[in-house]
Structure 1
Amino acid sequence: MNVTRPVMRTGRKFAQVLEGARDVFLAEGFEGANVDDIARAAGVSKATLYSYFPDKRLLFMEVARAECLNQAEAAMKLVRPDLPPRDQLLGGARQIVEFFNSPMSLSIFRMCVAESERFPEMAREFYRNGPLMARNLLADYLKCATEQGVLKVDNPELAAEQFAELCKAGIFMRRVFGVAEEQSPEWCEEVAQSAVEMFMARYGVQQDAV
């Protein structure tokens, strides 16, 4: 199949193909998913599937791109300047923890790492549409909160990266190396709460702690 032809993101069956592909990739992973199963789940012919996506990698990355955009849109809805920073950060932490605990997110990560040398632009696109977008969104919030005097952050971009790393603790490494299954909601909540407490201990201001 031709891997250089661009993805066609128009047509009435495009969303149908993505939904079916997402279900199959989530259940089988990238290697285990095959075109026949994806076409069947999407309710389209293989010819229709190929007309949109000439290569399985392109289809996988389009699913990854859509997942990242959905996460970004959900994160934007969480941004409420009227909330105290602790509450605002907790909402963000819960979403980040959920992302790192997600089987789909792990599949995307593994795929991008495995193919980063042969298809570097694919990995870069995932980074731009996922981690970088989330970091910039959080950094913008931290900058505004600092200007309002409710946080004290000198380097918003670095602080945003640190916050994401806190939200990975006890989850991401266990999941990515396959030493643990999907973590329980109780553990995810504990990780999110702890991440916020540690972040506030470093970047909070006195009135927030009172």
Structure 2
Amino acid sequence: MVAARPRRPPDPDAPRGAGPGRPKDLAKRDAILEAAKGLFVRLGFDAVSMDQIAAEAGVSKLTVYSHFGDKDALFAAAVESHCAQALPDSLLQAHPHMPIRERLTEIATAFYTMIASPEAIAGHRILCSPRLADSPLPQSFWDAGPRRVQERFAALLDTRVAAGDLDIPDTALAASQFFTLLKGEPHARMVFGCDCAEPRLAAPAHIAASVDMFLRAYAAR
């Protein structure tokens, strides 16, 4: 009779089936995202490999693929993670008892801080590169970041319109206008590398002027 072979312990980094009740390791997922964000900022999208991301995160390449599928999906997830950390859903709640100017200024300050960060500037430059401009990546970026923020902000505006604080016929359009105002010339200068320190130093005045212009257009009379 042939003796049974001893069973090998399972490899914790081996890809697993998507069976019910088998959650992925959230700590490893977070480590992969942080590693990817750092590498994309330092090296750019094309220069980063999944092997480098795995090594930086301290996991196997199979684990990276198990969580994210491919590098494009990982980049989109990194964008979503960055936006969610800087502008969490809790920040985009209506808070109807807070004065509308104060509420808009709070959101505007968080948004401007996010888009002026080195990570956001590097990500914007990556997406403007010729090779990526014709790829699905810009659309993935839009869906993971700006679209999420604008949709939640439009819902906040709906609540404030219903409360009588604002008079806005098209809140989706107004949400787009609000964030476009905040980006304005300062964001373009930071992306182009033109006197980057000045837009950051002038941020409070720029934010206040943008909120003021928005309220001049949409505050309830």
Question: Above 0.5 in TM-score?
Answer: yes
Partner of 2:186: 171
Shift of 1:140: 1.7
Tell whether the 8 Å contact from 1:90 to 1:196 is kept in structure 2 after alignment. Answer: yes
Shift of 1:138: 1.7
TM-score by length of 1: 0.77
What SS does the aligned partner of 2:169 have? Answer: coil
Q: Does 1:10 align with 2:24?
A: yes
Match of 2:76 among 56, 61, 73: 61
Partner of 2:7: none
What SS does the aligned partner of 1:169 have? Answer: helix
TM-score by length of 2: 0.74
Please, which runs of 5 or more residues in structure 2 have no aligned partner? Answer: 1-17
Shift of 1:96: 1.8
Pairs within 5 Å for 1:106-145: 106-114=121-129, 115-119=132-136, 122-145=137-160
Count, aligned residues: 197
Shift of 1:108: 2.8
Shift of 1:35: 4.8
Tell whether the 8 Å contact from 1:100 to 1:171 is kept in structure 2 after alignment. Answer: no
Tell me how large the CA RMSD over aligned residues is: 2.8
Aligned partners of 2:185, 2:138: CA distance in 1, in Å?
25
Aligned partners of 1:149, 1:53: CA distance in 2, in Å?
44
Please, which runs of 5 or more residues in structure 1 have no aligned partner? Answer: 1-7
Tell whether the 8 Å contact from 2:182 to 2:207 is kept in structure 1 after alignment. Answer: yes
Shift of 1:152: 1.5
Tell whether the 8 Å contact from 1:151 to 1:205 is kept in structure 2 after alignment. Answer: yes
Distance 1:65 1:116, change over 3 A: farther
